Structure 1
Amino acid sequence: MPTDNAPQLASENQEEEPWTKQERRKRRHSPPQVTKKTRKKHLSNHNPNSDPEESEEEEQPGNEGPDDQLEQVTRVLQEMRALASVMEASPPPSPAIAEKEEASMEEEEPETSHVGKPASEKHQATVAKTTAPAPETRQEPDQPSSYTHLEQQWAFGPSFWSGGNSSRSVGVATLVRGRCFTVDSVTELEGGRALVVDGSWAGEPVRLINVYAPSDVGERRELFQRLRPQLVTSRTIMMGGDFNCILESGGRCGTRAKEGWMDDGAKLLAEMVGEASLTDVIGSMGADARNFTWGRPDGSVRSRIDFVFTSRSVRIRQHSMVTVHFSDHRAIRFQGELTGKFLTGPGTWKLNSSLLGREDVQEELRRTYSEWQDMKDTFQSIGEWWEWVKGRIQDFFKNVGRKAARGRKREFSRLQQQLQELHDLQLRGWDVMNPLEAVKKELSEHFHEESRRIIFRSKVENLEKGEKCNSFFFKKVHSAHTPLVQLRNREGILCDTKEDIRKAVTDFYGDLYSEKRSDGDQAERFLAGIPRKVSTPAREVLNAPLTLEELHIAVKSFKSGKTPGSDGLPIEFYTSLWDLVGPDLLELYEEMEQEGVMPHTLREGTIALLYKHKGERCDLKN
């Protein structure tokens, strides 16, 4: 939309008339002056491929002749007529719908150094939140927002952009400096409001979360609820942005500074930060007024509504507040160190039982399994073949899971795009309330399903069925996934390296499960009164060959959701495919009984260390 100080647009149907010399002289000396700079600046606003350096050129009107100025004015008018014809095709957005929000802030993530590397090799990331571009021509609904022109201006590394659905005044961007950051995935939780970037920083998995929270309390709380599951991760978290709420009583001064200083959205955010054990890089406000991040120009109202939170594994070296000329918010700048000492491994894989309920998956697995059965003769034993088959089963379901995840991501992107298009139509005056509510409902169901998947991945036993992602759930999940950073070995020395911690655990359980010396005389006296012979009927039952029915009864006696081995195949896998795998299991157990040898995966187990919440956490007895 042209601004007030722009030249007035000629009507689309108005014809140009030749100018007289007097008119030329009058227009030459009357504002606004049209120069190559203003013309190129106008063109660059509508051409994403324009070179920003060209706009720096300028020629003063006094150095041009009348014919040159006439040619420039004519060209600009022609361009603006074309622009006006596009803009007149749709009515302007209603002022009542336009959102009024505080200006966004710009942040920079820490310059991150790694252990064993000189300072010159430190890598710096910048996470900047900025308003989405507001081009003078509104995009049509079938044209997605493009930030190519902005991406081209950031030449220091990858950048990721997200614009708003209902308002052009919202938007977030994550800018990364350096080429050592490898992107794994980018998730737009809400257009212009929350952007999640997963990647690896010099080999260490990190999650960058950029937030621009709404000013409305209800909408802000809803956004935080969507954001909450993203904090359940083994990645190092760096979350920053304009959260539009204060987290401590001294976080605001001025009008109504003490009245209801912590709303529902702020309480939820504080709860989330505590659950995920995140650290505020700036720390408490205290009595230092320099920690305010936003204020009115006259200084009557000031508050701290911008934050950067990181995982505790990030060692904060220094931090500062930076005043900028283009916003009434101050930027938060800090330097931190990613140590990489306690990188979390891939963990143990477990089959998602919900995949077994899909008919297409079952049909494909049965067909493929029959092909695997034909390869038994190529192995030396059934046990060796079964070990190989279990690896193929894992690969099969991992591929199915990846395809399902890609499908969910495409569906989420489709819903987000549809939401964007419907909001654009609503701003043009269209009645799209019903389809808009339908899309919002689908998005709500999507996040509900994502919560269920988080519950499954959390592997918290008493939460796997019917539990919602509430405060109790997240406390349980974060508690179960708190890494061990220190342990005492058998000599009582505190270990803080991964190798020493692993050795301390191995020594402790090696001693615990080692063979203990027993008193033979006491054992004989204890067993003296027990019959040492088995009756003939009992002997016949015990020595009878295994049957398929016996195995089936044993399998069904297991608790659902349990995996009897380290292969990650739960009981549901065996019960749902018993007609397929049952005979092979019977053949396997018969071979084990005859040969007296068990396959490798049946002879190993996984020990998970669970803190009892009593005594020192670094003591293995606790």
Structure 2
Amino acid sequence: MASVRLITINARGLNTPVKRRMALTDAHSQGGDIVFVQETHFRADSAPTLSSPHYPSSYVSNYTVSKSRGVAILLGRHVPFVYESHVTDPGGRFLFLKGTLGLSRCTLVNIYLPNRNQCQTLRSILTKLSRYSEGIVICGGDFNVHLDTPGEGNPASCKPDPSLRRRFLQLLHSQQLVDGWRVLHPHGRDFTFFSSAAGSYSRLDTFLISHHGLHLLQSATIKPITWSDHAPVHLVLTLPTVPERDRTWRLNETLLKDTMNRTDIDTAISDYFSNNLTPDVSLPMVWEAHKCVLRGKFIQIGARLKRLRTGQIKDLLRNIHTLETSHKLDTFKELTLQRAALNDLLTSNTLRSLQITKLKYYTQGDRCGRLLANAVRQRHMTTYIPKIRRADGSIAHSSPDISTAFLSYYKSLYNLNDTPPPSEAIGNYLRDSYDSTISRETREALDAPFTMEELALAVKSMKSGKSPGPDGFTMGYYKTFLPSLGPHFLQAFNSLDERSTIPQSALLATITLIPKPDKDHTLVPNYRPISLINTDVKLFAKLLATRLNPLLPALIHPDQSGFVTSREARDNTIRTINLIHRAQTQGLPTIFLSVDAEKAFDRVEWHYLFGVLRHIGFGSKWMAWIHALYSSPTARIRINGTHSTPFGIRNGTRQGCPLSPLLFVLALEPFMQRVRDNDNIQGFRLPFHHYKISAYADDVLFTLTDPIKSLPHVLTELRTFQALSNFLINDSKSEAMGVGVTAEVYHALTEICPFQWTRNSLRYLGTTLTRSPRDLFAANYTPLLNTTLSELRKWHKPHISWLGRINYLKMTVLPKFLYVFQAVPVKIPRDYFRELKSGFLKFIWGTTCPRIPYGDLTRPRDKGGLGLPHLESYYQAALLTRICDWSVSPPVKLWVALEQFAFQVPIASVPWQLAPIRTLISSLDHPTAPQLLRLWREVRSRPDLSPDISPLYPVSHNPDFPPGRQRSFLDIDSDGPYLHIARCYTEKALSPLSLLTPRSVHTPLEHYKYSQLTHFVTRLTSALPLRSTLTVFETLCTMDPPPTHVLSSLYTLLLSSSQPRLPSYVIKWHNELPEPISEEDWGKFFQSINTPP
């Protein structure tokens, strides 16, 4: 049974940041769940924000005339309150808030009555309330009426108007409202305000509650007067239908910043392991138990620091309470001194907190990072789930019933089969479909014990600031104490074998639920589960994933591009665009089927997964490590602050585990191989590959050229795979698009399978793939532009500076465009980028004129600019990355072989050719190749790209040199698909024939061909110089494998080659300075201001 604490207080003005921070901090420290504030003194047209992370929802009613009056209701982030509507008062006297508290309908009311005509004002307010309220009415406020008679507590010297009190109580009685404090303290004597002018105490503030809600009252107290001149009144209500929140411990990482704390913890770690490493206790159990001991140590340190931090405040509060409850005038002087001391202390703490906050926002608020992300993030929906629909269609409202509904769903999801598929059936399936194995040397390397170097690399690669698992230990703990923890961590996990397991408490996960946007949130499947696993288990899985990752390119076919090194989602979309174009040009009836796998990662059958791993040939030690992770995992669901009972998990790869995606693609690969090997499933059969199926993790796309024959066999393979692995297709979310398919075939296909059949487009990997390549731009880029500009126009964050807005564009807008630039590399008109540029500048500068030239804004920060994304250059860089893919020989990416059909020469030679485009390309209507080649011809003359004649310039397969296109031309080793001119040169001169073809005797025909080559090279170099060294871009293209961050490197090259060496404002500085600063010194200066201290 949970309880909710309500606080009402007259703030006497909250217009200063110090007082707002003090009020919010005090409300949280007192445990307020719902806070009623009177006299906020906000103007309606310029009200500041009254909210905090602890009180994200606030409702205010401000006076429209001046900075006076004003009331507010603040809702804590964990309050089980579901908002419905609210009513404000232009006079700033009242605020009504209607909704559901727990399972009970209620209306929260905040009232601030004037010093005169109280009953008249209250009567008007209660009349409006009677027409609006529903359920229990809970009203907090400052009523400016003496609520007690002398007999009930007022001193005899205080003579309030008895008729005012009587009329006030009659009004309450007419609405069946009761003074909550007086009900629980019928003979009590306490006050909320002291008038120094009148020298009298009075109780003006209280909570009123509906008569039929009195059974919910648990306690009512009046606290000491601190930062305001009114005392806060606390009212605690019992919520019978809401269970008590479960408290979970999480490491406070600020404790790790103190040197003395780190020393104490380091000593505790050493003492623990020196005292507890005994032969009779397993090493994994010793490791797991150390977290219990260290958790207690951290709690002890935190409690000690809290006592030091709050001890003086508690002493002052204790003294103030003693003096206040005496209610004597002769103690007023001492009481005033104590209050002043407390107020000075609270103000000092608040000022220090504000200074730290200002410093943090000044230094980091405008930078790309968590602060800016939190500042611009849309307000999240409340984590409270008020109701859910059960499987039988009925609605559950109480938290226990809601928890049971979710528990039933996820328990069945993670325990799909009572009887696992037969091992013999799994073995036969794998033997018939999958032939990839690992060597003995690789097996031994995988089974080797993990080293400290591997652990250090894994810890360094893990991100800090992530939510921990049930044990509460964050990554900061392991990063801080790695030297002390590392050896014991390795001992514990290296010791795992077939006979030992990880303790069950270590494998417990907490599932938190996030509502999916634009979905019906009364349905359980419309919540996205996020599994929080313990950090040490995640770290162990990271070690396994780091070892496994380099093996995946050899074990996983290039048809699968998800979670494999050097493969990207764009590989699949570019491939599909090429196949759609090929289907159109060849007039070949084809369907493109994108299947949606339902809960694919959560449904993986473990017996099948382990069968795949054994079939590949993983060693006993590696299999023992995997079995340890999957031996007996459990999970519990966190709903409305409570945890469900833990339940066992018997299928699925664990969310949040670095190893899970790698295991999933390994589990899916046998199915994809069976589709490739099935002759009844037809795709595009080309010399290099038979294009039938592609996937990015669980997003699978089939390309079927004989759909009537192929589709039934695809469905058969899916059913066979589902029986062994639990892989299930969601028919309602799977889409199919036909190209060149007749109406009769369409009708027959819809009878075969119940997928969503579309005519003109297909959604795949976040893009829209259209039947006509000419529609790709309108289907992908136009909606993205409209959405982006609409969001920028709706911007309502005036507290974010123009520097922060630039970084917002880098953090939020740029990634969306970068993905589409790479995934759908079609021609974009210049007007598109001009419109984006205009939208960016309006967003940054608002209605004012730009104060910095656009060129200086887009310069890199280390070159004197501000790093505003230049989207046209990013688009060009995204296209040019494909030249790097073209240049790899033999091609690694399967779409390169498809684009080869668009050219009459080897695709690797195309970027370095100088012949006219029409002589190189065979299909000018190709959706992706011609525009890339035209762009390349526009920009290649820039210094760092490929000016003049490249050393990679082709001699063979060159339209400008017809003899070189003959197969029998000079038998020279080319070391690739074509002979480049650098192979024919020695020290800036054409190599003699004896070096090109090292034979003792050359035929006259060879001498003739060599003369042809000499003549061609002489004529060629007379027009343009021949470089002997590769440029930066050419070096990138010749690297195998291609380096990481190619796109950012190309963007830097394009931007630097299109801008002056120094920003425009340098000229103004030179005009002002007596001596100009050299370009080298400017560069050092730009580097220094962008280097973190």
Q: Give the TM-score of the pair, scaled to structure 1.
A: 0.49
Q: Give the TM-score of the pair, scaled to structure 2.
A: 0.29
Q: Which has the higher helix share?
A: 2
Higher relative contact order, chain-length normalized (CA < 8 Å, sep 6+): 1
